[in-house]
Amino acid sequence: MELRTLKYFVAVAREENFTRAAAKIPITQPALTRAVQSLEEELGQKLFERGKFSVKLTDAGFRLLKRAEEILSLVYETELEFAAGKIYGDIYIGCAESDAMKFVARAIKNVRADYPDVHFNLYSGNIEDIEFRLDEGLLDFYVTLQTVDAAKYDSIILPNPDVWGIILRHDDALADKKFFTLEDLQTLPLILSREAMREEFPKIFGAALEKFRVVATYNLLFNAAILAREGVGYPVSLDKLINDAELCFRPIAPEFTSPLKFIWRKNFPLTPQAQVLLDEMKKLYSRHNESRQ
């Protein structure tokens, strides 16, 4: 079993697609396919379930992924000991929709300035999918609004918690209001985030949530904004996520906020490039706290 083949296998597992993985490595797709097939033959196990447009890891594939990441991480660390300063490779980050991502973006910009061979891959999806990918080593970090399991993850709470409110048309009769109360929300056709309905909304709205008239739900806000523009209803959203000349944001009063967390797995070695990003995040976090004192 060669290190090169393990790298190929991990690339396909992360991208869930042979074509994208081949472009990342880079290698031709037929050569990548042959390498993975040879690995499957060598191990006597099927590593991927192949679909029309994507591939998924089998149980055997997940077992190998954990081992492969441990092996490659050790190789990275060894290489660094003998080639100080040579940081390169990919970092994978699961992301919630939030303006607080700008804090992560600043860290990325700083890392790129010092290590131009480090590349970043942002991944959006539902909570279960992203947490699964993080736990299985397919993501290095996760930026989330959800409560963090301190037994499994370390975390940094990002500055400036997000403010909840509703999105509506500028020409809506209600746009003159400076804020909306919980009582106001109970009279409106609302469009709610499925993710937030599981944890955030019950936590901040309490019993009032049961009185909301929900006409639609959404996963990503872009499509919910289209529904708002067409007059279907009023999305409940975080501020600063929509840049649309026809729409505006009004906060909920009393103010409801949710902090964003930057999390990573406990007791699991990060790749050198991921460690560099984490160090930069901690540095920015420390500077922010000092500036507030």
How do residues 256-267 score in pLDDT, each as one tens digit? 999 899 999 998
Residue partners of 120: CB distance under 8 A and separation at least 6: 90, 91, 93, 108, 112
- From residue 198, give the alpha-carbon distance in Å to each of 109, 203, 260: 33, 9, 16
pLDDT digits (tens, 9 = 90+) for 25-36: 889 999 999 999
169 pLDDT band, cuts 50/70/90, is very high
Report field, pTM of the whole predicted structure over 0.85: no
CATH 3.40.190.10 domain extents, the chain: 87-160+259-293, 162-257
Within 13 A of 231's CA, how many CA atoms are on the CB side?
Answer: 3
What type of residue sits at position 181?
A: T
Neighbours of 42 (CB within 10 A): 11
| Residue located via tokens 């472009």 | 23
My answer on whether omega of the bond before 254 falls inside 30° of 0, hence cis, is yes
* pLDDT number for residue 73: 78
* pLDDT number for residue 288: 80
Q: Using CB atoms within 10 A of its CB, is residue 16 exposed (0-12), middle (13-18) or buried (19+)?
A: middle
Residues of the chain above pLDDT 70, percent: 97
The mean pLDDT of 80-90, rounded to a whole number, is 71
* pLDDT number for residue 293: 62
Residues of the chain above pLDDT 90, percent: 68
What type of residue sits at position 169?
A: R
87-160+259-293 CATH fold: D-Maltodextrin-Binding Protein; domain 2 (3.40.190)
Question: What would the CATH number be for the domain defined by 162-257?
Answer: 3.40.190.10
CATH 1.10.10.10 domain extents, the chain: 1-84
- Average pLDDT over the chain reads 91
pLDDT at 182 over 90: yes
pLDDT digits (tens, 9 = 90+) for 55-65: 999 999 999 99
1-84 CATH fold: Arc Repressor Mutant, subunit A (1.10.10)
